[in-house]
Structure 1
């Protein structure tokens, strides 16, 4: 259970849970905060439902984004988490965007093949011309600028904000130079074992579709490759390469895509750092290693 959150923020989020549940006729009693990095994620034990809360302009755009992707992927029988049958996303109290999902089993003993299998299914999806209009395009650059614009100025120094903005500009320029050379398709955008769930029949599914869309297929292999160094998961990554059948570090675009990944993992939590001291401390560590070019220094997970 996520506990490192200021009391005032916890009370505000609980109020949003109650308001959102009232809108769709769910019982919020006993709502449990299970995760709070980019989104606040609550489990509703009496309903077997998971509720995700995002805030601000990024949350509004992402709410519609995940609903669009979830419905499109579900119609094509891709193993993903399933939306509740309700009018979604909801806008609550003006600044919060809420989505509801059927609760599935959470595990911690995932194998590399558990992650590689649904990714390979996702990456083999055929796209019709109409899909390129209907589906969102992977765009970490616009999202990063939005998050920088709404960063907690009480926590993020102005010099750090400027530096991150410059790094994102450079990363986008590098990506645009090679973009047309990259095989594209539907990607998850943030595939790691923390975004896996399991159905009652044992099927492993992907959740958290905030970064999903049409994008470079190679990017979906980058999180595990970066995690091999930053999170000490070298053995897991070797198994992942074997299960998926490709090592993205051999790709000429690896330096560009890995830089984007690391910038995402620093920029994603900028809004609301003030209310989460442990997240803020880890963010400061990650930012310091990037600013000093220390790419071999390990990171901890945000908790």
Structure 2
């Protein structure tokens, strides 16, 4: 398929740059660096497997994927679906429950936030102080040690890896599906409940989380590994944007606030979305 990029619209830019084509109902996702390359390959592998097994996810365009550009950018192409703002907690819980019931193939990639974090730290923008990077490396090392100590107690399965309402779409039949499969694979099922539990405090969404617990049926905060899983989630949310902070002052300001609250041990500070 030949695609015309004329008039493409940037609709999202946090970790990936996401464009909507004007010439066709196609979404283009562009990742960068080593993490972008690894995540692009992983996304395609999981998306194709899930499409073949009826998973509640968006689908790729046919063709060879991912496409690498100049050895730095990794591009994938997706069928465009519609959004449905505002999403409810039940909308989020429904595809997650369905996903978690699918028995995964052991050949699918494993959840590994630690390697991704190491790459992000190595590729951090020059504006990030070395003291902050050193602190984050120490925190990631501690979190990995703590996670390994409790990993065997966690039920494993097929997970999305980064489920939140910003990663929901509705297909042509009206079904709610998950998009952004960069972190999808085999991992602790509890992990897919952590973003909403952390968001209850960090994004002042306690009411939404209560609804989510009722809809999904589990409160991850009662599980023994909850403290380390929450820490990993918060570390991801300050590490993921490191490579391009110098060109994004709004993101840099929010990143500084998040990092300062972590470094000070403030567990109640609220955060804003990156924009």
The correspondence for 1:108, drawn from 56, 65, 85, is 85
User: CA shift at 1:101, angstroms?
Assistant: 0.3
The correspondence for 1:269, drawn from 223, 230, 241, is 241
Q: Which sections of structure 2, spanning at least 5 residues, go unmatched?
A: none
The correspondence for 2:123, drawn from 143, 150, 155, is 150
Counting only pairs closer than 5 Å after superposition, residues 1-303 of structure 1 correspond to structure 2 as: 25-127=2-104, 131-132=105-106, 134-154=107-127, 156-303=128-275
User: CA shift at 1:94, angstroms?
Assistant: 2.2
User: CA shift at 1:275, angstroms?
Assistant: 1.1
User: CA shift at 1:153, angstroms?
Assistant: 1.8
Secondary structure of the 2:243 match is coil
How many Å separate the matches in 1 of 2:233 and 2:243? 18
Per-residue CA deviation, residues 49-100 of structure 1 (Å, 9 max, x unaligned), is 0000011111111110000000011111011011011211000122110000
How many Å separate the matches in 1 of 2:156 and 2:35? 24
Runs of 4+ in 1 over 4 A off after TM superposition: none
How many Å separate the matches in 1 of 2:241 and 2:58? 23
Secondary structure of the 2:237 match is helix
Per-residue CA deviation, residues 97-142 of structure 1 (Å, 9 max, x unaligned), is 0000000112321010100000001111113xxx22x211000000
Count of residues paired in the alignment: 275
How many Å separate the matches in 2 of 1:122 and 1:79? 7
Q: Which sections of structure 1, spanning at least 5 residues, go unmatched?
A: 1-23
Measured on the aligned residues, the alpha-carbon RMSD in Å equals: 0.8
User: CA shift at 1:200, angstroms?
Assistant: 2.2
